[in-house]
């Protein structure tokens, strides 16, 4: 069945992060969502029969409210929960958080020269991510891998596919899906690094085709521009107001 109406609400909780990625699409001007607004929004998503709530930012573990509590709240409402995180500021027991249905973790290369070079201040990030993935696999958790395809990592995308194939081996299947994003010249990173990182539509399409020919043991999604997805609505705070953006509604204040 093809679902045409929004099913997934993305809560962009706040803009701060402990990394600086050259492709980051977050806008520094975004505000911070309060706990009460997030709760109200989750109730509204449930009332409108959304299937899942995806918590992002910035880095959601920098949200000044209780992330664990809001995830439990969403889960109790019956929403599937996903958290998009760079995995640096995880609490010690993250692999036991059974109210998180899926972690969304970035892998943008298989070598430090490529993955870490796309980010500043975290020269060991690839090592942190591979250790985290191994812990999540041992705990039987589910993850979506996100990769932003840029001029500087396009040569390693197939190798990421082979690394993920290896990670998926064995009885415990950690990878739900792999999302291949096209670099977008937006936000605090993307705008600054357009000349250095942007690839053509043709190259992006070719890389996605080649990845699909790898016949990987999980779904590979083409994510040329998430804002154009019919099934996703984005929510954030701007000048104190809750805003939403979706393909059908454009950008407008959210009435919840
Ligand atoms: S893309 Fe990088 S800098 Fe931007 S929010 Fe994610 S981890 Fe932080």
Domain ranges of the chain: 8-253
Tokens matching residue 88: 């640096």
Model pLDDT, residue 4: 61
Model pLDDT, residue 79: 98
Could you check whether the bond before residue 174 is cis, i.e. omega within 30 degrees of 0?
no
Model pLDDT, residue 225: 86
User: How much distance in Å is there from the Cα of 117 to the middle of ligand 1?
Assistant: 14
174 phi/psi in degrees, rounded to 5: -80, -35
Does the beta carbon of 58 lie inside 6 Å of ligand 1?
yes
Angle at 93 between CA 89 and CA 99, to 5 degrees: 95
Range of lowest pLDDT (40-54, 59-73, 121-135, 166-180): 121-135
- Nearest ligand 1 atom to the CA of 57 is 5
For residues 6-15, average pLDDT: 95
Range of lowest pLDDT (145-154, 178-187, 221-230): 221-230
Mean pLDDT of the chain: 95
Ligand 1 pocket mutation pick from 15, 17, 105 by most atoms within 8 angstroms of CB:
17
Nearest CA to ligand 1 atom 1: 24
Does the pLDDT of residue 81 top 90, yes or no?
Answer: yes
CA–CA distance, 26 with 227 (Å, rounded to integer): 13
Q: Are 106 and 129 in contact (CB under 8 A)?
A: yes
Model pLDDT, residue 226: 77
Q: What is the CATH number of domain 8-253?
A: 3.20.20.70
């Amino acid at each position: 069945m093809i679902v045409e109406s929004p099913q997934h609400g993305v809560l962009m909780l706040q803009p701060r992060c402990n990394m600086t990625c050259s492709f980051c699409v977050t806008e520094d001007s975004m505000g911070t969502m309060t706990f009460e607004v997030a709760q109200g929004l989750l109730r509204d998503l449930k009332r409108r029969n959304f299937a899942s709530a995806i918590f992002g930012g910035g880095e959601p573990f920098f949200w000044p409210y209780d992330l664990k509590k809001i995830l439990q709240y969403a889960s109790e409402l019956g929403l599937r929960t996903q958290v998009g995180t760079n995995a640096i500021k995880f609490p010690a027991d993250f692999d036991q958080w059974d109210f998180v249905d899926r972690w969304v973790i970035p892998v943008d290369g298989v070598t430090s020269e490529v993955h870490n070079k796309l980010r500043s201040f975290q020269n060991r990030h690839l090592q942190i991510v591979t250790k985290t993935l191994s812990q999540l696999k041992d705990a039987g958790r589910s993850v979506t891998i996100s990769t932003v395809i840029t001029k500087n990592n396009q040569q390693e995308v197939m190798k990421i596919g082979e690394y993920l194939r290896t990670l998926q081996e064995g009885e415990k299947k950690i990878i739900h899906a792999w999302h291949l994003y096209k670099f977008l010249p937006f936000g605090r990173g993307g705008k600054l690094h357009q000349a250095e990182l942007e690839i053509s539509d043709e190259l992006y399409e070719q890389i996605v085709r080649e990845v699909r020919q790898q016949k990987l043991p999980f779904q590979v999604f083409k994510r040329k521009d998430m804002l154009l997805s019919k099934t996703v609505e984005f929510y954030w705070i701007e000048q104190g107001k809750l805003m939403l953006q979706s393909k059908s509604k454009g950008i407008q204040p959210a009435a919840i």
